[in-house]
Structure formats: C-alpha cells, structure tokens
Amino acid sequence: MSFVRACAVAEVPVGSAIPIDLGGDAEVAVVNTADGFFAIRDVCSHAEVPLSDGDVDGCTLECYMHGSRFDLRTGLPLELPAVAPVPVYPVRVDDGNVFIDPENPIRIQEQ
C-alpha cells in the first residue's frame, strides 16, 4: 500500500467532507464522521459533480445534485438515481494527519 498525506485531522470537522487534489485523476473526498475518517472518489457516479459538496449523514454522503446517497464504507449507492458505485480508499490517521491510499481502492462486492 502506498499511503499519502491528504490533510490534517483539524481540517475536516466531524460531519463534513473536503475535496483533496492528489494530482492526475485522483479526485478524493476526505470525510469525517462519528465513526472515523473515510475517503471516497469525489465524483458522483450519476451526475459527475463533487460529492464533497454534499451532506454527510452517518456513514453516508449525499450528492447535492439529485440526492443520491453513497455508503462511505463501500461506495455503493443507497438512493436513486445513481446505480453505479464510487471507489472508496483505505484511510489511516497518524500524528494528527489523514493518509489515504489512492492507488488501491477497497474492493467491495455489490449486494
């Protein structure tokens, strides 16, 4: 695994998401929930808008455009109109910083 620093813990209050530009095609949203930090591709699979602009609710992130919700643990859509999952990435918190591994998305079987 190739973890890279995404941001400081203090930059992402609980219940919020921020966009992270890792260069290239690595558009990632770092999300802080009561259950910890998550990293998800920052593009809705339906509307292709930034998910980081949406609302965090528990372990879900809602797209502001049409209301599709994505599970932050799996990337699976929980609400229409989105039907395709969004990649999620391993996260590690160390010494006040959030690290993600954008090269190795978590593989989740669709239910």
Whether 28 maps to a domain, the answer reads yes
- For residue 21, how far is the Cα from the chain centroid? 13
pLDDT at 20 over 70: yes
**Residue 111 pLDDT exceeds 50:** no
The answer to pTM > 0.75 is yes
Q: What integer is the mean pLDDT of 57-79? A: 96
The more confidently predicted of residues 54 and 47 is 54
State the total domains in the chain.
1
Residues 96 and 8: beta-carbon distance below 8 Å: yes
Distance CA 62, CA 54 (A): 5
Question: Residue 68 maps to which CATH number?
Answer: 2.102.10.10
Q: How many CA atoms lie within 13 A of 68 on its CB side?
A: 24
Report yes or no on 111 lying in a domain: no
What pLDDT, on the 0 to 100 scale, is given for residue 23? 74
Confidence of residue 11 (pLDDT cuts 50, 70, 90): very high
93 lies in which domain range?
A: 4-100
Q: Is residue 108 part of a domain?
A: no
Q: Is residue 37 a part of any domain in this protein?
A: yes
Which residues, in sequence order, are bridge partners of residue 92? 99
Phi, psi at residue 51, to the nearest 5°?
A: -70, -25
Lookup: tokens for 32: 């802080």
- Note whether residue 64 is domain-resident: yes
**Would residue 109 count as lying in a domain?**
no
Is residue 105 in some structural domain? no
% pLDDT > 90, the chain? 84
Of 104, 103, 105, 106, the closest CA to residue 23 belongs to 103
Instruction: Tell me the C-alpha distance between 97 and 74, whole Å.
Output: 23
